[in-house]
Amino acid sequence: MEEEKKEKKGFFRRLKDGLSKTRSSIISGFDNVFTAYSEIDDDFYEEIEEILIIGDVGIKATTNIIDDLKEKVNDQRIRDPQKCRELLMESIKNEMSVGEADYEFENRKSVVLVVGVNGVGKTTSIGKLAGILKDQGKSVILAAADTFRAAAGEQLTEWANRAGVPIISGQEGSDPGSIVYDAIASAKSKDADVLIIDTAGRLHNKKNLMNELGKINRIIDREYPEAFRETLVVLDGTTGQNALSQAREFQAVTPVSGIILTKLDGTAKGGIAAAIHSELGIPVKYIGVGETIEDLQKFDADAFVKALFDTGEES
Amino acid sequence: MAFESLSDKFQNIFKNMRRKGKLTEDDVKAALKEVKMALLEADVSFKVVKTLMKSIQEKATGQDVLNGLNPGQMVIKIVNDEMTALMGSEAAELKLKGGSDVTVLMMMGLQGAGKTTTCAKLAAKLKSRGRRPLIAACDIYRPAAIKQLQVSAQKVNIPVFEMGTDVKPPQIAEEAVRYARENGYNVLLLDTAGRLQIDEEMMEELQEIRRKVEVDQTILVVDAMTGQEAVNVATAFEEKIGIDGVILTKLDGDTRGGAALSVRAVCGKPILFVGMGEKPEDLEQFYPDRMSSRILGMGDVLSLIEKAQESFDENRAKEMEKKLRKASFGFDDYLDSMSQMKKMGGMSSILKMLPGMGGSQMAQIEDQIDESQMARTEAIILSMTPKERSNPDLLNQSRKIRIAKGAGVDISEVNKLVKQFDQARKLMKQFGGGMPGKRKGGFKLPFGGGGLF
């Protein structure tokens, strides 16, 4: 219990730190609105809407949130804008609830397939994830199936060395399928707990590249059917609404089970997480809030919304 | 469930307007509301959208629109003009010093924007224009960043200057300038590490580089898919370092490039190039007018024509047109047109520039185009004798068997090709030749899509 509490706090603090900029723009915005208006009118709603959109929450989710808020305000006959703070938090939470995200792959013999467009931070996230799992005492194998980008294999090897886990890789330009095949054989023979597969960045509208991913997926199904499957789409936190399109298209060729949202340590608004939950119902499982291994954090929607709204000192 | 792009959106709005023939003031308002939503969904900065809407509102509610003969066109024109104006009304050129003077270009941006890849492409582009470029590896932080740069640069035959990961970037830059001067390079590209615009220490490093070497142009590399954040990134880099130009990457995705509008409007600096794909020639010149018309869904017909002209020998085109008219089009000509097509970046990249080719239509068509099939087709044609190529009617069974053997394919594939070719020739007779693409929607797949492409 004590342990858990500590971990939670650690998460909250990090998230708060990482999101400090997001907060200062979204929240100071919210608080300004809450205090600047003496009554709840169209302008009031419009300003909240504006803040959400600037936070990359997206049109659809924003509309849902505002509609939900309006309904609550009407139902509860609320007149004071200040009282909308709690309600708005609730509305955002509602919009984001996709049920408890599970991390069962951590406790099973599993294959984690990591996909995404170019430059979102796939390799870095995998390096961090491998480090975390290794620290938990799991045996981890990495597969460098990005044979396309120059030196991608070297980059992952560097991470593998840092985490102290073995890596299966091949020549640049070689068939990623064959690397996946070899990696599965290796995972089986070494009885590894988790096999994490890095794939080449691909734009989700390139049909051939997406088909290649489908092929990798089929190889895993065929060669390692007993493994627990986890497929994570890595999305760049600075990406706008296109992130939805990306998640959707990857979902079409692989059994996407979760999202890693990276680069949330800038001024990027975590708002896209709300849009993803709202429109696609895929849980965000991890967020990247910094450069170190500990900066890959499990995502907690409640804490996320709370952190978004938190302005005071929390200890 | 294809992503409905901004261009699709606009098209839907204005399709309805055209049908009405005349616009009421309410129509304009309703349209602008939709336009606003569409722009926001395309990740155009909220502030920029607001400004844009205001200026369009002012113009569109005037009588010009209400009394216009074609109200839909009028609104398109106003929106288009405003967007073009926001993006800078004309194409910008990268300024380089003359002669043996070393022009120093510093590439900068967030992690994953595509700086390293773009560095190699830009260097290759400058080399093809007769420059002598050198790239300096100033990313000493990301694992294997130098290696990535070396491999990418090697592919396009550009030398890389590196000092490993123990020397600080400003010093590397300084040494690189010296090295460039001494070895006769006249453009030096500094590939810096990706950094967050709020990372003071890392931003200081860029300032330090500027103090140590005379940077002629700082180029911000921005991912075209960037959301509302684009504004913050551009503003911070502009304030702390200063931006002379922008390169927009990954525009070959299905994002409509709202970031282009935002970055240009906020920092006021020209977008020099856009990244449209993996190959060096896919780093293309940015044309604000075409970009906005592309966003508006008019397709980039202008760009298509220009691109075609670049790689199309005009005389050959005329000759081919004549042949098409007479229907004396042979396999040789077909081979020719196939290689022209390749030069233009393949069938799908041409289709993308056409009007009305939004995400959904593209996906359908891409299903029919198998570019690897082109190689097989080529092999079959190359296995024919020159006589057979110019006179396809010669092809009898024994010739076909020989060709199939030569190309290493099944005879049924040869039959299929010949049959489709015959159909294509018939089709061409109906068309009577002429260049495609001049007229909206006038471009047809001359070979029926199917197996030939």
pLDDT in tens, A88-114: 988 888 888 766 768 999 999 999 999
In a domain, A196, yes or no: yes
Cβ-defined contact of A241 to B197 (cutoff 8 Å): no
In a domain, A315, yes or no: no
In a domain, A142, yes or no: yes
Taking only the tens place, the pLDDT of each residue in B179-228 is 999 999 999 999 999 998 888 999 999 999 999 999 999 999 999 999 88
Query: CA-CA distance, B61 to B98, in Å (whole number)?
Result: 50
CA distance B266 to chain A (A): 15
In a domain, A62, yes or no: no
With beta carbons under 8 A apart, name residues in chain B contacting A147. Answer: none
**Is domain B304-431 classified as CATH 1.10.260.30?**
yes
Cβ-defined contact of A238 to B197 (cutoff 8 Å): no
Query: CA-CA distance, B299 to B322, in Å (whole number)?
Result: 28
Query: CA-CA distance, B181 to B171, in Å (whole number)?
Result: 16
With beta carbons under 8 A apart, name residues in chain B contacting A266. Answer: 110, 196-198, 229, 232
Cβ-defined contact of B42 to A241 (cutoff 8 Å): yes
Q: Compare B67 and A168 and report the one with higher pLDDT.
A: A168
Cβ-defined contact of B112 to A118 (cutoff 8 Å): yes
With beta carbons under 8 A apart, name residues in chain A contacting B232. Answer: 266-267
- Whether residue B275 contacts residue B282, with contact meaning beta carbons closer than 8 Å, is answered with yes
Residue B367 is predicted with a pLDDT of 54
Query: CA-CA distance, B144 to B142, in Å (whole number)?
Result: 6
| Closest Cβ–Cβ partner in B37, B111, B259 for A263 | B111
Nearest chain B residue to A151 by CA distance is: B148
Mean pLDDT value of segment A186-214: 95
B279 touches chain A (CB under 8 A): no
Mean pLDDT value of segment A167-194: 94
Query: CA-CA distance, B388 to B391, in Å (whole number)?
Result: 5
CA distance A218 to chain B (A): 20
In a domain, A228, yes or no: yes
Residue B250 is predicted with a pLDDT of 93
pLDDT at B353 exceeding the cut of 60: no
pLDDT at B360 exceeding the cut of 70: no
Residue spans of the domains in chain B: they are 6-86, 103-296, 304-431
- Whether residue B190 contacts residue B105, with contact meaning beta carbons closer than 8 Å, is answered with yes
**CA pseudo-torsion sign A43, A48, A51, A53:** negative
B156 touches chain A (CB under 8 A): no
Which of B9, B110, B139, B228 is most worth mutating to test chain A (most A CB atoms within 10 A of its CB)?
Answer: B228
Mean pLDDT value of segment B258-270: 86
pLDDT at B85 exceeding the cut of 60: yes
Cβ-defined contact of A267 to B363 (cutoff 8 Å): no
Taking only the tens place, the pLDDT of each residue in B329-348 is 678 777 777 776 666 555 55
Taking only the tens place, the pLDDT of each residue in A123-152 is 999 999 999 999 999 999 999 999 988 888
Q: What is the DSSP letter of A109?
A: S
CA distances, A174 to each of A121, A169, A185, A200, A203 (Å): 22, 10, 18, 12, 20
With beta carbons under 8 A apart, name residues in chain A contacting B33. Answer: none
Cβ-defined contact of B223 to A269 (cutoff 8 Å): no
CA distance A98 to chain B (A): 21
- Burial class of residue A78 in the structure, from the number of CB atoms within 10 Å of its CB (0-12 exposed, 13-18 middle, 19+ buried): middle
Which of A46, A49, A205 is most worth mutating to test chain B (most B CB atoms within 10 A of its CB)?
Answer: A205
- If pLDDT is split at 50, 70 and 90, which confidence band does A4 have? very low
- Whether residue B224 contacts residue B249, with contact meaning beta carbons closer than 8 Å, is answered with yes
With beta carbons under 8 A apart, name residues in chain A contacting B143. Answer: 154-155, 158-159
With beta carbons under 8 A apart, name residues in chain B contacting A29. Answer: none
Query: CA-CA distance, B162 to B151, in Å (whole number)?
Result: 13
Cβ-defined contact of A150 to B367 (cutoff 8 Å): no
Mean pLDDT value of segment B268-278: 90
E-strand ranges in B61-162 read: 103-108, 133-138, 160-161
In a domain, A155, yes or no: yes
pLDDT at B260 exceeding the cut of 70: yes
Average pLDDT of every residue of chain B: 77
Residue B218 is predicted with a pLDDT of 96
B window 109-148, beta carbon within 8 A of A: 110-114, 142-145, 147-148
In a domain, A248, yes or no: yes
Q: Compare B314 and A31 and report the one with higher pLDDT.
A: A31
Which of B9, B51, B223, B364 is most worth mutating to test chain A (most A CB atoms within 10 A of its CB)?
Answer: B223
Cβ-defined contact of A239 to B113 (cutoff 8 Å): no
Full domain range(s) for residue A169: 104-262
Same CATH fold assignment for domains B6-86 and B304-431? no
Taking only the tens place, the pLDDT of each residue in B227-237 is 888 988 999 99
Q: Compare B109 and B350 and report the one with higher pLDDT.
A: B109
In a domain, A151, yes or no: yes
Query: CA-CA distance, A172 to A150, in Å (whole number)?
Result: 7
Report how far Cα B156 is from the mean position of its chain's Cα atoms.
19
Comparing CA positions, the residue from B231, B293, B307 lying closest to residue B256 is B293
B103-296 maps to which CATH number? Answer: 3.40.50.300
Cβ-defined contact of A155 to B144 (cutoff 8 Å): yes
Average pLDDT of every residue of chain A: 85
With beta carbons under 8 A apart, name residues in chain B contacting A151. Answer: 144-145, 147-148, 150-151
Which CATH number fits the domain that encloses residue A226?
A: 3.40.50.300
Nearest chain A residue to B40 by CA distance is: A59
How many structural domains are present in chain A? 1
Taking residue B382's Cβ as centre, other Cβ atoms within 10 Å add up to: 13
Specify the pairing of strand B160-161 against strand B133-138. Answer: parallel
CA distance A17 to chain B (A): 13
Q: Any bridge partners for residue B283, and if so which?
A: B275
Residue B419 is predicted with a pLDDT of 84
CA distance A240 to chain B (A): 3
ipTM of the complex: 0.81
Residue A265 is predicted with a pLDDT of 81
With beta carbons under 8 A apart, name residues in chain B contacting A245. Answer: 3, 254-255
Please state the φ and ψ torsions of residue A205, each to the nearest 5 degrees. -100, 10
Which residue carries 């995972």 as its tokens?
A187
Rg of chain B (C-alpha set): 26
B6-86 maps to which CATH number? Answer: 1.20.120.140
Cβ-defined contact of A267 to B198 (cutoff 8 Å): yes
Taking only the tens place, the pLDDT of each residue in A213-268 is 999 999 999 999 999 999 999 999 899 888 999 999 999 999 999 999 998 887 66
Q: What is the count of residue pairs from A and B with beta carbons less than 8 Å apart?
A: 142
B223 touches chain A (CB under 8 A): yes
| Three-state DSSP class for residue B290 | helix
